Structure 1
Amino acid sequence: MQRNIWLAAISVIVVIILLNNSAYYLLTKRVLEQSLRKEMASVAGQIELSLEQSRHGSILFEDQIGRELRAASIAARYALDPDVEKVTNRQLEELSGKLGVSHITLMKRTEGDIVLYKSSDPNEIGQGTKNMKPWFDIFNQLFDRQAVTSGWIGQTLPNFWTGPYETATTDVDSINKWGYCYDGTTNYIIDPFVGYDRLKRYEDITGVSRLIGETLKRNDSLKEISILNPHTFGKGKIETINENGEKRVHILQQPVAYGSYRYKADDDAKLVAEAYATGETVAKEMRIGGERLYKMFIPVKIKNDLLKMTDQNGNKMDSYVLALVSDYGMIQNELNKQFLNMGLIIIAITFLSIVIAVGFMKVYKHSKEKAVRDTQSAYAEEMNQMFLAIRGQRHDFINHVQTIHALAELNKTEELVAYTKELTGEIRAVNDIIHIGNPAVAALVRSKISQAETFKIRFICSFEGLEQLEMGTRTFDLNRVIGNLIDNAFDEVRKMPEEEREVGISGIRREGRLELRVSNRCRDAESVAAAPVFCPGYTTKEDGHQGLGLSIVQSIVDGYKGEIAVRAVSEHTLEFVVYIPL
């Protein structure tokens, strides 16, 4: 039985440890994920701010290049003949060198097309533009002296328009920025253009790509930063084919505008679309190439200047998606470390708890055995006294019979009645004690009867159903309750004359509980019943009593979740009532 109890206790401890570890693991994981998410969101906010500043700087720098192209166009208009037929390619080559541009091309309007007619770049000569959308529409608007209304990103100045840096139609490996000027004084559009080298140097120093690189260096947990075009991401490169059959990639429509895209997953396109459509950050844990990663897609809206990004149809966009990839393995490593530390702590606490529990069980077992021994010892002593009393009665039986015979012969009726009355009372008292049922309680009552005889107290006892009460701790505590209540009653009635000294005790077991009643005569029962008699230290005695008896009784009763009360039965009778569940 004891072994089963220990197995059950150990099983409960193991289950508690497992539940505690699981709850701790999940809670810590959640906290670390929230911390990582907040950290990434904070980094994203810093990146957004820095990107905006860098983007504004790039826009201003590119606009300055656009104004320089317009100035070069005006200078070329004064240097060249208004008739395109009278201008030579050699003149354009020399003029482009003087004006500091890569090349100058003159565009002539023909029936149904606008042709790159003369140029310092031989690759451009003879190239038509009717299939170049939306540039062909813009060229016609310039020739017609109309305001440029194309939705394509660009910079409009008087009689001038310039687009963003783009790959060249005639040279798909070249990135240039073109300016287009026409004021009606010539029969051609002046088209100076410059290469990407100048803007690239600027962006290498202060641009977005440099910012992304520096951010990755400063954050160990960040693996990758990307600026994505939500319209073209996942759809491959947007390309057109020129007249020579060469594929031309459009910079403004690239799926990855800045940064890199090395950590690819099948769900990325769907997550980017979700973030862009809802305007809410989307995050997901995933495993790529054996690495556990945490991806976050953050939609960023541009409030002021136009974004240098278009959709697949060439329409302007005012938002993009910032993608951050973080090392989720760092969270797992931290979790493993925390889990190990917690496991060691739990093991130590569990071991200590088991040691304490074993010690407590030993103390409890020793206390229980001691209580049984004390009760049995008291019972044996009192039973010996009871047996001695019975043996004494039997020893004196002949004497009592002779006395009764002599009184009868002498016809001493009154003396005979008094003598037999005293004799039968003693025999009845002993028999009543024997019939109590519980040996320990019987032994205690026998000792209290002896005290009552000594103190000249009339002591009335009545018990029923105690034979079903087992010996052990409960009986030991019951005797403590009975003993303290009787002692308290004896102390109270000893203050009174002998003829008024009366104490009664009754005990009955019924309805699953034990009911005890102890009553005694009292000078002022009502005032005593209203006093805090169960408080430690309270006493009405003057002979050194500490006032602990009734408080001990209440603590024992409370320990068994029982009830105790005191009441005035009459003006001079006080009664204590105790209910103890069994």
Structure 2
Amino acid sequence: MHEMQRNIWLVAISVIVVLVLLNNTAYYFLTKRTLEESFNEELVTAAKRLQVSLEQSREGSQQFQNQIGRELRAASIAIQYALDPDVEKVTTEQLIELRDKLGLSHITLLKKLQDDIVLYKSTNPNQVNKSTKTWKPWYEVFNQLFDDKNASVDWLGQSLPNFWSGPFEVSSTNVDQINKWGYYFDGATNYMIDPYVNYERQEQYEGATGVHRMIENSLQSSDSLKEIAFVNPETFPDGKETINTEGHVQGHKVQEPIFYGSYTIKSAKDTELVRKAYFSKKTVTLRENINGQEIYKMYIPTFANESGINITDRDGQPMNSYVLMLSSDYHVIQDKLDSQFLNLGIIILIVTGFSLLIAVVVMRYYRQSKEKVVRVTQETYVEEINQMFHSIRAQRHDFLNHVQTIHSLAELNKSQELVAYTKELTGDIRLMNDIINIGNPAIAALVRSKISQAEIHKIQFSCSFTGLNMQEMGIKTLDVNRMLGNLIDNAFDEVLKYTEDRRHVTLVGKQTATALEFTITNICENAEEAVAMPIFEAGYSTKQQDHQGLGLSIVKSIAKQYKGDVYVTAEPTGKLTFVVKMPL
């Protein structure tokens, strides 16, 4: 028996251990997933902040370039005042002198012919007598300035009164140089003034405070970020080149695939994902092993405030958006996650151990409590069974005395006394037979015990049982005894308030094919008031002291446990009836 109980407890503890481990394992993976998602969101947020900072830096660089444009306009006006208004009277030496004084790369004068606009005179020998007819959209700008003295072309660049300046771009006459040109014409001369500077000054600004500096600082301050690239999604990854009039291959800065940053960490999926981010206008991510490193990439579509940002598509049309591509070392990210997972694992182990300890303590306490209850129940059961058997033996022992008494009353013709005596005798026997026929010794013992208790307190306790077959109830005997015991005690406590002749309690039990029902009725002067009280709530009691108000709430909870119910009614005759019904 002890071996079986020990095995049951081992199985119970094992089940608890497995459940705790499964719960904590599920919690671990759920938390791991949450941490990864949270970390990914953190990366996205950091990337967005970086995006804003880089865009602000890029706008600053754009403003600096516009300032260069304004300076070129001022230089153009100075050149106009220093030169003869007739281009034929202007010498190259004068242009060279002005170039050096004004700190320009070169100065070129454009002359409009009948069907062309040419670079007529210049400090750069490569530009002299070059046609601009094939330059788009520059040729259109030149015609607008010559005709209207202002440029209104819908393209990149900077339009000021009598002046237009394009973005830094590769020279068609020097394909290995990047310059920014300014064009000035107010009608006071028969030529257009074209001063220009190379990219060096803009590059110095961006290296010190502009986009390049911002990119460098961002890479140095991050332990995982490895590369940043501003991508032209229309020309990525190959860019665009053309053959100029001299037959040379000419690239275009405004169409470069990477116009800021670097692109050395390459994936075969970059082109697809850049376009996906660009057209969907949503951030796209990629985790991939590149050159033996676990790389995490983010492709963030970025939209500029102005209509043109000095980049164009393959057709030369201005764009106002690009893609910011960030490449991070996922190994660094994974190390951070692993550190968090380690802390989480330690916490889970501690919680698991603590939970198991609590479970063992609770189970041990429960087992001891259960053993105590079983022991008390067994002792009560044995005591009440012994009392019942003692009553039966007493009846059999007194049987001869009863027969002799009946014989004597019959001889003396004491018919009324004889009837009264035999009625009392048969009632006692019938009650004992009813108890024996209950079919469950423990419940029979409880009823016999309550009968004895009633006799002591002068309570008239009547019992009646019909069809009880306790083996087929499907309800624990212990629970039935708990309900009956509490209800009978409650009835006894109530009738003890009255005189002996009014102490009446009736117990009726019956079992059908579908239900088990017990009815207990007792005298109660305040029946109507009692029914209105919350008598089934835990802690509520109408008794003075030494009562915790738990009896009826226990009956209610046991009935609910078996999907049954208990209710109370007030009888017109001043009686209180409790009914317990439970389905079978």
Closer/same/farther in 2, CA of residues 186 and 20 from structure 1, 3 Å limit? closer
Written as runs of structure 1 = structure 2, the 5 A alignment for 1:173-572 is 173-179=176-182, 191-234=194-237, 236-242=238-244, 245-277=247-279, 280-287=281-288, 289=290, 290-303=293-306, 306-329=308-331, 331-469=333-471, 474-510=476-512, 513-534=515-536, 536=539, 538-539=541-542, 545-548=545-548, 551-561=550-560, 562-572=564-574
Distance in 2, matches of 1:527 and 1:157, equals 98
Cα deviation, residue 64, structure 1: 0.8
The one-letter amino acid of 2:481's match is N
Distance in 1, matches of 2:140 and 2:540, equals 107
Closer/same/farther in 2, CA of residues 136 and 432 from structure 1, 3 Å limit? closer
Cα deviation, residue 507, structure 1: 1.7
Distance in 1, matches of 2:525 and 2:164, equals 118
Distance in 2, matches of 1:274 and 1:208, equals 25
The one-letter amino acid of 2:285's match is K
Q: Name the structure 2 match of 1:16.
A: 23
Identity rate of aligned residues, in percent? Answer: 45
Distance in 2, matches of 1:540 and 1:92, equals 119
Q: Deviations over 1:479-499 (max 9, x none)?
A: 333233333333443444444
Q: Deviations over 1:121-157 (max 9, x none)?
A: 4444565555444445555666778755655544566
The one-letter amino acid of 1:440's match is A
Which secondary structure does the structure 2 equivalent of 1:82 belong to?
Answer: helix
Aligned residues: 571
Distance in 2, matches of 1:508 and 1:534, equals 23
Distance in 2, matches of 1:151 and 1:487, equals 100
Check the 8 A contact 2:151/2:162 in 1, yes or no: no
Q: Name the structure 1 match of 2:4.
A: none
Distance in 2, matches of 1:575 and 1:254, equals 95
Cα deviation, residue 188, structure 1: 6.5
The one-letter amino acid of 1:35's match is E
2:78 maps to which of 71, 79, 87:
71
Bigger shift: residues 254-263 or 400-409: 400-409
The one-letter amino acid of 1:202's match is Y
Q: Deviations over 1:50-103 (max 9, x none)?
A: 32233212211233134314533552447x97257xx5x666555644554444
Distance in 2, matches of 1:403 and 1:147, equals 145
Which secondary structure does the structure 2 equivalent of 1:503 belong to?
Answer: strand
Check the 8 A contact 1:101/1:193 in 2, yes or no: yes
CA RMSD of aligned residues (A): 3.8
The yes-or-no answer on 1:59 pairing with 2:66 is yes
Closer/same/farther in 2, CA of residues 176 and 66 from structure 1, 3 Å limit? farther
Bigger shift: residues 100-109 or 559-568: 100-109
Closer/same/farther in 2, CA of residues 513 and 326 from structure 1, 3 Å limit? farther
Q: Name the structure 2 match of 1:47.
A: 54
Written as runs of structure 1 = structure 2, the 5 A alignment for 1:106-125 is 119-125=122-128
Closer/same/farther in 2, CA of residues 168 and 49 from structure 1, 3 Å limit? closer
Cα deviation, residue 433, structure 1: 2.1
The one-letter amino acid of 1:285's match is L
Closer/same/farther in 2, CA of residues 49 and 107 from structure 1, 3 Å limit? closer
Q: Deviations over 1:505-552 (max 9, x none)?
A: 1122335543221222344543444455556463356xxx4344x632
Distance in 1, matches of 2:51 and 2:242, equals 34
Check the 8 A contact 2:235/2:257 in 1, yes or no: yes
Closer/same/farther in 2, CA of residues 274 and 66 from structure 1, 3 Å limit? farther
Written as runs of structure 1 = structure 2, the 5 A alignment for 1:83-98 is 87=91, 93=96, 96-97=99-100
Cα deviation, residue 208, structure 1: 2.7
Closer/same/farther in 2, CA of residues 162 and 577 from structure 1, 3 Å limit? closer
Closer/same/farther in 2, CA of residues 261 and 403 from structure 1, 3 Å limit? same
The yes-or-no answer on 1:82 pairing with 2:91 is no
Cα deviation, residue 377, structure 1: 1.9
The one-letter amino acid of 2:28's match is N
The one-letter amino acid of 1:82's match is E
Closer/same/farther in 2, CA of residues 333 and 415 from structure 1, 3 Å limit? same
Which secondary structure does the structure 1 equivalent of 2:172 belong to?
Answer: coil
The one-letter amino acid of 1:374's match is V
Which secondary structure does the structure 1 equivalent of 2:88 belong to?
Answer: coil
Closer/same/farther in 2, CA of residues 367 and 560 from structure 1, 3 Å limit? farther
Check the 8 A contact 2:21/2:352 in 1, yes or no: no
Distance in 2, matches of 1:492 and 1:291, equals 81
The one-letter amino acid of 2:522's match is N
Closer/same/farther in 2, CA of residues 231 and 179 from structure 1, 3 Å limit? same
Cα deviation, residue 277, structure 1: 4.2
Closer/same/farther in 2, CA of residues 420 and 58 from structure 1, 3 Å limit? same
Check the 8 A contact 1:178/1:191 in 2, yes or no: yes
Cα deviation, residue 412, structure 1: 4.7
Cα deviation, residue 198, structure 1: 3.3
Closer/same/farther in 2, CA of residues 218 and 454 from structure 1, 3 Å limit? closer
Q: Deviations over 1:324-351 (max 9, x none)?
A: 4455555544433333333332332233
Closer/same/farther in 2, CA of residues 28 and 361 from structure 1, 3 Å limit? same
The one-letter amino acid of 2:27's match is N
Q: Name the structure 1 match of 2:174.
A: 171
Check the 8 A contact 1:77/1:190 in 2, yes or no: no
If the length of structure 2 is used for normalisation, what is the TM-score? 0.83
Distance in 2, matches of 1:82 and 1:183, equals 18
If the length of structure 1 is used for normalisation, what is the TM-score? 0.83
Cα deviation, residue 461, structure 1: 0.9
Q: Name the structure 1 match of 2:3.
A: none
Bigger shift: residues 207-216 or 414-423: 414-423
Distance in 2, matches of 1:184 and 1:205, equals 40
Distance in 2, matches of 1:179 and 1:532, equals 95
Distance in 2, matches of 1:93 and 1:374, equals 120
The one-letter amino acid of 1:231's match is E
| Unmatched runs of 5 consecutive residues or more in structure 2 | 1-6
Distance in 1, matches of 2:147 and 2:196, equals 22
Distance in 2, matches of 1:537 and 1:159, equals 98
Distance in 2, matches of 1:472 and 1:367, equals 24
Bigger shift: residues 383-392 or 519-528: 519-528
The one-letter amino acid of 2:70's match is D
Bigger shift: residues 437-446 or 395-404: 395-404
Closer/same/farther in 2, CA of residues 573 and 321 from structure 1, 3 Å limit? closer
The one-letter amino acid of 1:546's match is D
Closer/same/farther in 2, CA of residues 130 and 463 from structure 1, 3 Å limit? same
Which secondary structure does the structure 2 equivalent of 1:314 belong to?
Answer: coil
Check the 8 A contact 2:235/2:313 in 1, yes or no: yes
The one-letter amino acid of 1:368's match is K
